Structure 1
């Protein structure tokens, strides 16, 4: 099998994401019985119920293998290969780092008396780090297995139920099981917090942190404004022909995307030329192209 530069980079990203996710689980989540849904949550419950004799990584891999086999027909070959590697990376890293992290935690935090506030911080930190780790994996069109794969399979049997709803139900069931087994409503709530933070962090990671502003400017002085933005702000401007439905007057609507720090300069330029211009600003999560972020091929 011939590997291109982009394939190797993709595998390294999955490996790096798996490391972050594994460390997040071993440092912040598993030791404190925080089970934020998914196969990792089930594995965490089994790990503690077995008296820490059944490794988390082993359990995750044992559950994920049949899920991947069942999903062969649903998902593409490339997705399954990458996801299998991601699941194996994650399971192996969790198990080989567990003892070392456990010993380090005993040395550093042996005398610590954990309060509810401490566990909440662990849930927040674990959720945030998990979201970052998953972000690197998901960005390469892969997954580490788990309930998202199970949700896709169930969607084939119950097509009227959206995958997102099924995923929420499965994760909710895992958290409910952990709450009952650990006999702690508080731990269940911490698991919900970790799951929420992880999901939000993952969304932000995938959407991109390179925020910008998109402006739509409607003015009778559109030509002058466009020239000022191109010359003074050094930003491209696109003109869109429009018409006022009330006045029946034709207008040139200007579309321009700028960085956050350039917004006040744009407003000043528009105000100098036409104080009565109608300006609409909207958030842009990520901008690819000249003057912003370069396109990356994967």
Structure 2
């Protein structure tokens, strides 16, 4: 019975993953068809290469996306295993198909290259982010970026930005337009930020470390006035050799000023570190 339930749970997760990849790929395709391709914005990736070839030789964008991606499947299978490989095949083939489908069905929403770069970056970045969040890729430099992020300290957004710079340079040479290069750069910067936001969360909180001789008083006020939990960590100053309690708490962005004022009232000489924290899970935050 337990084994059956386990298999059912895995099948459900797989179904949700493929549904997420389907949604993400369609968002990416709409970003291309509505905004990027009509404005000659080759915003990196195989889709950027396909856009360049479309305007040079009238080759179908979907067909180029599929053909260029085929050699990358082996790398995906070797590094991430058969499950990721199948989702990559699914995502890439689907992207090639839906780009052609939406291209025949809808019309460009704008021919202003700046608006195309901005909104194309938002929509395509959201699509890639959703696809990656559900353990798939849309192939091309998305897959290369996933590999690079896997083997380095780069985030997905940074990896995409690094790899897609080459495609932007090629587009500038082919279209002989510095303006289009700059629009494409805007688009991939926006796209990279959106990818990171989808993967790491937009609604970030604040992580706070407080070192003070009045840590107990500060902790009680945080508990009572902000209704936030506080953890006391054992710390020691290396230079002074003095042992002190380090307070750790996580607060919402809107509570930052209240916390700083509270700490200053108790101890103007307190040492405070405040940093952005993504995906806070647990009591008082997201389940």
TM-score range, shorter chain: 0.7 to 0.9
> Which runs of 4 or more aligned residues in structure 1 lie more than 4 Å from their structure 2 counterparts after TM superposition?
150-154, 162-170
**8 Å CA contact retained: 2:155, 2:196:** no
Q: Deviations over 1:193-222 (max 9, x none)?
A: 222221222123222112111122222222
Structure 2: where are the runs of 5+ without partners?
A: 1-6
Task: Quote the Cα distance in structure 1 between the aligned partners of 2:282 and 2:13.
Answer: 20
Task: Quote the Cα distance in structure 2 between the aligned partners of 1:163 and 1:229.
Answer: 33
Which residue number in structure 2 is paired with residue 87 of structure 1? 92
Measured after TM superposition, the shift of residue 163 of structure 1 is 11
Which residue number in structure 1 is paired with residue 195 of structure 2? 202
**8 Å CA contact retained: 2:160, 2:192:** no
Task: Quote the Cα distance in structure 2 between the aligned partners of 1:68 and 1:74.
Answer: 10
Matched, 1:20 2:14: no
Give the number of equivalent residue pairs: 277
Task: Quote the Cα distance in structure 2 between the aligned partners of 1:134 and 1:70.
Answer: 19
**8 Å CA contact retained: 1:210, 1:287:** no
Q: Deviations over 1:237-282 (max 9, x none)?
A: 1111223445443221111111112223333443444344333222
Matched, 1:279 2:272: yes
Task: Quote the Cα distance in structure 1 between the aligned partners of 2:76 and 2:274.
Answer: 43
Which residue number in structure 2 is paired with residue 121 of structure 1? 115
TM-score (norm 1): 0.81
Task: Quote the Cα distance in structure 2 between the aligned partners of 1:59 and 1:88.
Answer: 11
1:191 to 168, 184, 189: 184
Q: 1:183 to 1:244 in 2, by over 3 A?
A: closer
Q: 1:169 to 1:9 in 2, by over 3 A?
A: closer
Which residue number in structure 2 is paired with residue 37 of structure 1? 44
1:148-187 equivalence runs, <5 A: 148-149=142-143, 171-187=164-180
Which residue number in structure 2 is paired with residue 134 of structure 1? 128
TM-score (norm 2): 0.83
Task: Quote the Cα distance in structure 2 between the aligned partners of 1:129 and 1:216.
Answer: 37
SS in 2 for 1:177: helix
Which residue number in structure 2 is paired with residue 225 of structure 1? 218
Task: Quote the Cα distance in structure 2 between the aligned partners of 1:153 and 1:6.
Answer: 23
Q: Which structure features the higher share of helix residues?
A: 2
Structure 1: where are the runs of 5+ without partners?
A: none
Cα RMSD (Å):
3.1
SS in 1 for 2:228: coil
